[in-house]
A and B are shown apart, each in its own frame.
Chain A
Amino acid sequence: MNPVLSLRGISKSFPGVKALQDVQLDLYAGQVTALIGENGAGKSTIVKVLTGIYQPEEGTITIDGTPTRFATAQDAARAGVTAIHQETVLFDELSVAENIWLGHAPRTRLGLIDRRAMHDGAKRLLTSIGATLDPDLRLGDLGIASKHLVAIARALSTDARVVILDEPTAALSHKEIHELYDLVETLKAQGKAILFISHKFDEVFRIADRYTVFRDGQFVGEGAMADATEGQLVQMMVGRSVDQIFPPRSHNIGAPVLTVAGYSHPTEFADINFTLHKGEILGFYGLVGAGRSEVMQALFGITKPSKGAVRIDGQVRVIRSTHEAIAAGIVYVPEDRGRQGAIRGLPIFQNVTLPSLTRTSRSGFLRLAEEFRLSRDYTQRLDLRASSLDQELGLLSGGNQQKVVIAKWLATKPRVIILDEPTKGIDIGSKAAVHEFMAELAAEGLAVIMVSSEIPEVLGMSDRVIVMREGRIIDEVTGDRMTPETLVRAAAGIAEAA
């Protein structure tokens, strides 16, 4: 059997990062192919290549044996490729029928939109996937599962032949997931080629016919699901080699600094208990959406937990705002630095001193010389490359902006520093600098929490690793158990091999 859609030798890079390197992927009519890989393996990038949002630098896309190019998203849609995303991209204020037909609505002879044909067509499409939705409902009144149905009906309305489901179950309830499985069966029966992207092994084994594994932007292997075991897939996902070099660590662990007990939030996490010591780097690993960042944001006073106690040096501290967190000695370097970390319009030195202004000012007035001194001290330690501290932050490269954000937090002289995905999206050189710097901070006695989805980084930098899944701590991994397999199994909820 020949594949409907076939990718060969696809490469795509971004400044400093090779997102995809010479990968291949085949999709067959009437079959579900699961794309499996860790966070950052290149799954979202390949979806964007398939839907015409990114253009690869190299490689070919073949449909029914004819090579094609997707220069725009419209090209991909015209070729019959459609994607249904985690968060559906639909319009809440329009009706179900309007959403289904938007952009290619049936017309009357006068060139106006034919509302009757639109309604009937929508009804027919919805029925074909077993949905009983009224096409005139406002989309915003529907739940996520129903919105998925509308998205799929929309995909079918364009006569899509390739349907990409990008983590479709992430926001669904148990019952809704089973309805989705039925829907996938319906699509298979209609002869669609389906690409199913999921982190969850039980789902993959349940509905996929074939699998393709990516790792670090490279193709690792493919095959029939029936011939694969969980162990093999985990092996392929994590690989054997840890090819990055991490700085030596002192492992000089002291007294407990931060103790978190019975920490819970109504919807995001429950029963979080851990202790962080002086000089320690504690890794938090889990799949995206496991609740790691949410715990850290609560510790930093951004969201309010419902239960639990936070102790610093044995003293109970109540943290209701970021201001109180900083006063308690906890600082948080957020994952989304552009949005949450950097104020690009302000000069570098003003970014650095923003949380420390009470220290650099005297009797309510700012002292610029003092601010320059403080920011020079900390940016020099981080080896910041900038022509002047008066330069606007927005003019620096991503790696250098990251250094300014970290300098800002260090300047507050914290007891505990929480780094959320500290090396995400920065180039290799800056990565190494950040790692080295983390090791230095720990050696100086700072207590460090590192939230990271990169297994080599978690294993290479941490003294201990806490694994979270679905808002709970699943495992605490130390010593000999600190292997890629242990982490992946715990995060995905697979029993450990005997």
Chain B
Amino acid sequence: MSILKQREALLALAILLLIGLVATRFPAFVAPGSLVNVFNDTSPLILLAIGQMIVILTKCIDLSVAANLALCGMVAALMNGAGVPLPLILVAAIALGAALGAVNGLLVWKLGIPSIVVTLGTMTIYRGVIFLMTNGAWVNAHQMTDDFKALPRAVILGLPVMSWVTLAAIALFTVLLTRTPLGRSFYAVGGNPHAAVYTGINVGRTQCLAFMISGGLAGLTGYLWVARYAVAYVDIADGFELSVVAACVIGGVAIAGGAGSIAGAVLGALFLGVINNALPVVGISPFWQMAISGSAIVVAVCFNAAQSRTSGRIILKPQEVAR
């Protein structure tokens, strides 16, 4: 446990260092308002990374999150056009997202198909459904009501609602993972699925619940995304699922399952968010941004590998180790 915490501290330090470096050339970047903007910009990535982290924890992966986001966002926009009240739209977006997640989860649970294959398929299907619903047409800003667009941007106590939603999700899922039996069973299922079965845990059901959480968060983010950017079309958040997985990996979530924390996933997402927001400010080309994000992933994976090597069984007595 202490190694994990240390790792998260290291990541936080790396983020601060990055911000500090940028600040030497562009001091305005560290102004509170600017940092709030970075956090707000990174919110969709954080929300999806939380869901993805739980799915990865159970030895699965959800590649359909971005497509799920786009579909739920489109449905939210269409419901808005049909005059459905905003609270109902919010509930519907989360419910639809969770239902799409349940489709993934049920295929993994009941048919035993590897999650990477299932979600690779549903990723394309969900985008296809958007096209079928709209014939590829866009829903633009003038077709959305003002309150629909205003909610994510509304500022409460100095923070936009989108940021508050993200903070609430971080708190909620930290409690879920560390303080409830369901959270514990996510770790058990990923740590050793066979042993989990023998312990009376229904592995498939637990994995399905993880997919539903990931899907529900994607649905919520779908509304936030469409409302914030005031546009919905087939290809929004295209390829975003890879950034989400990257955030988890950088945050120390073990891709083999069973290890990781919400804090890690959030820090991983923030790391990517800072790179994406800070580097353009200092005038570094987008290609270098990609190279830096990529290097961060490789470094994180090397770090994970080194860690699992040192955590092997200690056979030598301490004095023999010292020699």
Measured CB to CB, the residues of A under 8 A from B are 300, 302, 321-323, 325-326, 332, 334, 339-347, 350, 354-355, 357-358, 361, 364-366, 390, 392, 394-395, 408
Contact = CB atoms under 8 A, between A and B. Distances in A.
Contacts of B188: 343, 346, 350, 354
Contacts of A345: 187, 191-192, 258-259
B181 interface: yes
A361 B192 CA distance: 22
Contact of B202 (A323, A332, A339, A343): A323
Nearest to B189: A343
B82 interface: no
B323 interface: no
B200 A325 contact: yes
B311 A392 contact: yes
A339 B195 contact: yes
Contact of B191 (A332, A346, A408): A346
Contact of A322 (B191, B192, B199): B199
Interface string B191-204: 11011111111100
B180 interface: yes
A64 to B, nearest CB: 40
B192 A343 contact: yes
B322 interface: no
* Chain A binding surface, main DSSP class: mixed
Contacts of A340: 194-195, 197-198
A358 B181 contact: yes
Given A344-B191, A346-B188, A395-B313, A361 B198 contact: no
Contacts of B199: 322, 354-355, 408
Contacts of B185: 354
A322 B193 CA distance: 13
A343 B191 contact: yes
A498 B201 CA distance: 52
Interface of B: 1, 178-181, 183-185, 187-188, 191-192, 194-202, 258-259, 311, 313-314
Nearest to A405: B195
Given A365-B180, A366-B180, A366-B181, A341 B202 contact: no
Given A364-B180, A394-B311, A346 B202 contact: no
Given A342-B192, A394-B311, A395-B314, A322 B179 contact: no
A343 B199 CA distance: 10
8 contacts: A322-B198, A340-B197, A343-B187, A344-B192, A345-B191, A354-B201, A366-B179, A366-B180
A365 B179 CA distance: 5
Nearest to B254: A345
B181 A361 contact: yes
Contacts of A332: 198
Nearest to A321: B202
Given A344-B191, A346-B258, A354-B185, 11 more contacts: A300-B198, A342-B192, A343-B191, A345-B191, A346-B188, A350-B188, A358-B181, A361-B181, A366-B178, A366-B181, A366-B183
Given A346-B188, A392-B311, A322 B181 contact: no
A343 B179 contact: no
Given A345-B258, A355-B200, A350 B184 contact: yes
Contacts of A347: 1
Contacts of A339: 192, 194-195
A394 B259 CA distance: 13
Contacts of A354: 184-185, 188, 196, 199, 201
A297 to B, nearest CB: 9
A230 to B, nearest CB: 39
A354 B185 CA distance: 8
Contacts of A346: 187-188, 191, 258
Contacts of B313: 394-395
Interface centre among A323, A339, A354, A355, by most chain B C-beta atoms within 10 angstroms, is A354
B159 to A, nearest CB: 28
Nearest to B190: A345
A323 B200 contact: yes
B68 to A, nearest CB: 27
A336 to B, nearest CB: 8
Interface centre among B188, B258, B311, by most chain A C-beta atoms within 10 angstroms, is B188
Given A343-B188, A344-B191, A346-B187, A322 B197 contact: yes
* 8 closest residue pairs by CB, A with B: A357-B181, A343-B191, A323-B200, A343-B192, A345-B191, A322-B200, A326-B200, A340-B194
Contacts of A325: 200
A361 B180 CA distance: 8
B177 to A, nearest CB: 10
A366 B184 contact: yes
Contacts of A390: 1
A339 B314 CA distance: 21
Contacts of B314: 395
A357 B199 CA distance: 11
Nearest to A357: B181
A392 B3 CA distance: 11
A392 B187 CA distance: 13
